[in-house]
Copies of this chain bind each other. A is one copy, B any other.
Amino acid sequence: MVKEYCGVMGAYDFDGLDVALDLYHGLYTLQHRGQESAGIVTNDYVALHPIKGPGLVNEVFTKDNLSTLKGKIGVGQVQYGSDDPNEAVLPILSRYCKGTMTLAMNGFITNYDELRSELEQRGAIFQSTSHAEMIMNMIAVARITSHSAEAALAQAVAKLKGAFSIILMSPRKLIAVRDPYGFRPLSLGKRGNRYFFASESVVFDVIKAHHVCDVRPGEIIKIDDTGITHIEEGLGKRPALCVFEHVYFARPDSVLDGNSVAQARINIGKELFKAHPAEADVVIGVPDSGLYFSLGYSYESGIPYGFGLVKNSYVGRTFIRSTDEIRTEAVSLKLNPLREVLDGKDVVIVDDSIVRGTTSANLIRLIKQGGARKVHMRIASPPFLWKCNYGTDIPDRSGLIAARMTVDQICEHIGADSLGFLPLESFERVGLNPKLHCMACFTGKYPDEK
């Protein structure tokens, strides 16, 4: 399982109305991007109003506490990683020489240690290991010599390496920036006189807004009394949206930099069949991420699509088990094979990726327990060969099975009857241009390294 870090949102209402409810609905919609904590901070020009804490959006916010979030400007965040006591719960608030500053951020700064050390040498202190806290320090330092918050932000961004989508709320402005390569998605939406930034476009669907544009790599967009200002500081490099957003992270109903995620997934399934056909009685997917791929595989192959694994909808983050229980029980609490579909069949199962191989081995064992005669596994991405530098959980090579084994060895290791990975070049065929996307975990070519 690969986790990404965070979903962010911002809102600005030109009529001065409270924006908290839209932020709440938006975070609700972005919940899949971070389930460990949630927060909203609004600004009514008198004070900042923060509600933040561990838990799902539904747990952190109540009708009562939402009603205290007054203000026409606001930012929100859902987050992974806040279990670590050294990690701050975002959005993070601070006061500096020009008043308040609140930051929501999705991403990972690769030169964090170096930049932090630089700040420490100037006398800065850090109350967490949050990259957002460091960025606020950089902005504060930059602000000494800058004429505006957006200029200070630009100055900070120029020094940052890595992947980041940032939404900054200053006393009277809402400012968004996407890193120079645009690794993480970020879009601008609009409903009436109210504007929104959000990690994924599906937020706009849900709050009945429409998609205005994507924030371009390296672009800064400022919203204040004077209107919407697109600031081009020349920070942008070649676009490199994380291709795994399409494979796994994003909701299928989002459109990322112009590409429909659902469409991409279905087409990936079709490409998978072209590259690795199989003779089988049924194609099944791993709920929920694998369903679109398997439907595409079914479309292309003509092999009937079926539900072979039933998911327990109430599975939370953990369940209790004794160590002497059968190993696979955890899997079967979550997924149960459907004998009526599998028994005596040759089955194609499509999953998004293989990291260590353990999950795949469990899945295949489960499907065979359900009576399948043969299991042909298809993977909707190329083999992971390189670690991600940009904030996902894809581990370094020692943890990647494909870095140590051939496809045939992996196939045997996980107990499949055949195994096929998506060819790298298929991405281009489904519209995910390698020149516009980061595929470093498959290729080792990190966009920000020469």
Binding site for B on A (CB under 8 A): 21, 24-25, 28-29, 31-32, 35, 50, 56-58, 61-63, 66, 85, 92-97, 101, 117, 120-127, 129, 133, 136-137, 140-144, 202, 205-208, 251-253, 260, 262-263, 288, 291-292, 295, 299, 304-307, 310, 312-314, 316, 318-322, 325-326, 329, 332-333, 336-341
- Assembled-state Cα–Cα distance A299/B316 (Å): 33
B124 and A124 contact, CB distance less than 8 A: yes
**Which 4 A-B residue pairings sit nearest by Cβ, starting from the closest?**
A123-B141, A97-B120, A94-B125, A31-B314
A126 and B95 contact, CB distance less than 8 A: yes
Given contacts A123-B144, A125-B101, A320-B21, contact A252 B295 (CB under 8 A): no
- Assembled-state Cα–Cα distance A318/B404 (Å): 47
Copies in the complex: 4
B310 and A252 contact, CB distance less than 8 A: yes
Majority-rule SS of A interface residues: mixed
Of the candidates B58, B251, B333, which one forms a contact with A319 in the assembled complex, judged by CB atoms under 8 Å apart? B58
- Assembled-state Cα–Cα distance A304/B296 (Å): 11
A306 and B295 contact, CB distance less than 8 A: yes
Least distance between A327 CB and chain B CB atoms (Å): 11
B263 and A314 contact, CB distance less than 8 A: no
Give the one of A61, A207, A208, A312 with max B CB within 10 A.
A312
Given contacts A295-B306, A338-B252, contact A21 B140 (CB under 8 A): no
Chain B residues contacting A35 (CB-CB under 8 Å) are 314
Least distance between A39 CB and chain B CB atoms (Å): 12
